[in-house]
Copies of this chain bind each other. A is one copy, B any other.
Amino acid sequence: MSFNITILGSSGALPAFGRFPSCQLVEVQNRYFLVDCGEGAQIQLMKYQTNFHRINHILISHLHGDHYLGLMGLLFTMHLLRRTNDLHIYGHVGLNEIITTQLRYSRSVPSYRIHFHLLSKDANEIIFEDEHLTVETIPLRHKLTCSGFLFREKPKPRRINKDTLPQGLLIRQLAALKRGEHVTDDQGVVLYRNEDLTLAARKSRSYAYCSDTAYHEALVEKIRNVDLLFHEATFTKDEQSKANETLHSTAEEAARIARLAGVERLLIGHFSARYKDLAPVLAEAKSIFENTYLASEGETFSIAD
């Protein structure tokens, strides 16, 4: 079952060297989320041949332009292409006004319904939930109210062990096995023990997106042990004072958060336009947390199940 993060924009505030502003496509078992939507997002979605009609949820971390200025273009394009599915947009105070003001002046009534979901300031709340997945916000520390997003699969059923499964079990008995229960007869007498007929459930995978943020240890508890952490790394540590001033992180700080949280892999991005060559940024992070990767336009990071 798929769990893929495709990078559409890895740049910080200024696009440079072919890097676009923040945008990622997160797909979990055929649910498509766009996470931030910097200018040119629709161009990137087309370039990497993603089917953006399948995106039903757009999550905007905060209202700095490099995180949302591609949204209106995408909304207009979805309308021109006659989208009909409802679209859910999540953002902080102001985003809804920004959208509706522009729809009004363009005299556009989209071909689809937009549901705006206002994110709570400084809250850690579940904003999406279905039978397989939750998405919750993570308060970050930045100049504007800013939320990260944590995608977490729900606990999965135990897997039937086909090698030991006897013939003729009823559907309700198979369902009980998946729930971790024993197989019983109508009187409740145990016929087969669960552990004899099932294998452990597959792990519940998780992805945390943390951008933009200063070094913020309160993050650690929220993202402990995630499979993949995206953490911004706008600067290298020789620009520590610039990072402090702008409430961004250095590569070293991103890596320290990853190490403290015990994540499996770290993905860094939101690179300043001062770095044409990102090798020093990567090296700095890897010196603290080896399993680090650079976000790069068009690249997909998959979490295996």
Within 8 Å of chain B (Cβ to Cβ): is A269? no
- In the bound complex, what is the Cα–Cα distance between A80 and B65 (angstroms)? 11
How often does this chain occur in the complex, in copies?
A: 2
Within 8 Å of chain B (Cβ to Cβ): is A46? yes
Within 8 Å of chain B (Cβ to Cβ): is A40? yes
Number of A residues near B (Cβ < 8 Å) is 36
Within 8 Å of chain B (Cβ to Cβ): is A98? yes
- In the bound complex, what is the Cα–Cα distance between A21 and B143 (angstroms)? 32
Taking a contact as CB atoms under 8 Å apart, the answer to whether A43 and B65 are in contact is no
- In the bound complex, what is the Cα–Cα distance between A13 and B78 (angstroms)? 11
The residues in A between 1 and 58 inclusive whose CB is less than 8 angstroms from any CB of B are 13-16, 20-21, 39-40, 42-43, 46
Taking a contact as CB atoms under 8 Å apart, the answer to whether A107 and B143 are in contact is yes
- In the bound complex, what is the Cα–Cα distance between A299 and B70 (angstroms)? 25
Q: Which B residues lie within 8 Å of A39 (CB)?
A: 39-40, 42-43, 69-70, 73
Within 8 Å of chain B (Cβ to Cβ): is A97? yes
Taking a contact as CB atoms under 8 Å apart, the answer to whether A43 and B40 are in contact is yes
Within 8 Å of chain B (Cβ to Cβ): is A77? yes
The residues in A between 173 and 193 inclusive whose CB is less than 8 angstroms from any CB of B are none
- In the bound complex, what is the Cα–Cα distance between A66 and B16 (angstroms)? 22
The residues in A between 69 and 94 inclusive whose CB is less than 8 angstroms from any CB of B are 69-70, 72-73, 76-77, 80-81, 93-94
Closest to A39 in B: B73
Q: Which B residues lie within 8 Å of A81 (CB)?
A: 14
Closest to A103 in B: B65
Q: Which B residues lie within 8 Å of A161 (CB)?
A: none
Within 8 Å of chain B (Cβ to Cβ): is A241? no
- Contact sample, A vs B, 28 pairs, CB 8 Å cutoff: A13-B76, A13-B77, A14-B77, A14-B80, A14-B81, A15-B43, A16-B46, A20-B43, A21-B73, A39-B40, A39-B43, A39-B69, A39-B70, A39-B73, A40-B43, A63-B105, A63-B106, A65-B73, A65-B102, A65-B106, A66-B73, A69-B72, A69-B73, A69-B76, A94-B104, A98-B105, A101-B101, A107-B143
What is A's interface to B at a CB cutoff of 8 Å? 13-16, 20-21, 39-40, 42-43, 46, 63-66, 69-70, 72-73, 76-77, 80-81, 93-95, 97-98, 101-102, 104-107, 143-144
Other A-B pairs, 10, CB within 8 Å; known A39-B69, A65-B102, A97-B105? A13-B77, A21-B73, A39-B39, A39-B73, A40-B40, A64-B76, A69-B69, A94-B104, A97-B101, A101-B101
